[in-house]
Amino acid sequence: MFDILLIPITKDNIKIYTQFEKCYDEKLSQYQSRIYPNNYIVNMETNLLNWYYIVADEKYIGSIWLEKTLEIENFAIMGIFIIDNEMRGLGLGEKAICNVVKKDMIYMHINQIILNVRSNNERAIKCYLKCGFKEIEKFKKQNDIECIKMSYTNEQNKRLC
In this structure, which topology does domain 4-159 adopt according to CATH?
Answer: Aminopeptidase (3.40.630)
Q: What is the pLDDT of residues 47-76, one digit of tens each?
A: 899 999 999 989 999 999 999 999 899 999
**CB 66 within 8 Å of CB 100:** yes
* Domain ranges for the chain: 4-159
pLDDT for the residue numbered 45: 81
Q: How far is residue 151 CA from its own chain's centroid?
A: 13
Q: Which residues of the chain have pLDDT under 50?
A: none
Picking from 157, 5, 10, the residue whose alpha carbon sits closest to that of residue 96 is 5
Give the dihedral sign, CA 103/108/109/114: negative
Contacts of 44 (CB under 8 A, 6+ apart): 9, 10, 11, 14, 51
